[in-house]
Amino acid sequence: MLTYCWKNFGFIAKIVFVVLLAFSITSQAVEKKSESAKHSNRIAVISFQAITPEAGTGNAVRCPICGIVSSSGKILEGSEKIVEEVFINKLNKLDGMELIPFAKVQSVYKRISSEKQKGTFQETLKKAGNELGADYLAVGFVYRYVERVGYKYSSERPASVVFEIHLLKTADGSIIWRGFFDKTQKSLMENVLDISSFLRGGAKWVTARELTEQGMDNVFETFPDFQD
């Protein structure tokens, strides 16, 4: 009888051990998941803006964030939305971040930027970022966006695009990344040294959007790795 009870006790002890082990593993998994969510990088993308030269400055424009002067030109209406879309598409392919819903970001930013005591542009961005609970803010500017005139293999005027994007840290407003792209497509005969770019475009005259996508690929080569 004693032997039988002891065997039952051993069997029950094994079951308890297995249950406790399973509970421990589950708890650790939940804890890791919670910790990962806690340290996710939340990014708010502010509506991109088309920037045109001020009177008397020729074709020069100054970045509202870093102050660097760049050349500008004609800007196709609504092109800032195209560049913004291409940028967001690239962000969505990256790991280690969480994009705050675009509509929510624009609603908060619009309200704060319209306040009487809104402060400087950077202060407005920082205030919006804090209210949104964003770790980082992305803001972009389009300085030139000219569409191709002609066809794939015969163009009267090539596409030309200039854009600049900044990633700011909400906590202190510091710039942690700058992406800048300025390109007007040239034929292979005009620029033999740029053969890689021409071939990447399929050895044809690309559209302004295709040129924007090429440029976005280029600037994202230095984009911060949020998986580290």
The CATH number for 40-222, chosen from 3.40.50.2300, 3.40.50.620, 3.40.50.10610, 2.40.30.160, is 3.40.50.10610
- Kindly list the domain boundaries of the chain, sorted by start residue: 1-39, 40-222
User: How many Å apart are CA 193 and CA 153, to the nearest integer?
Assistant: 20
pLDDT tens sequence across 160-171? 999 999 999 999
pLDDT tens sequence across 25-35? 555 544 444 44
pLDDT tens sequence across 66-104? 999 999 999 999 999 999 999 999 999 988 889 999 999
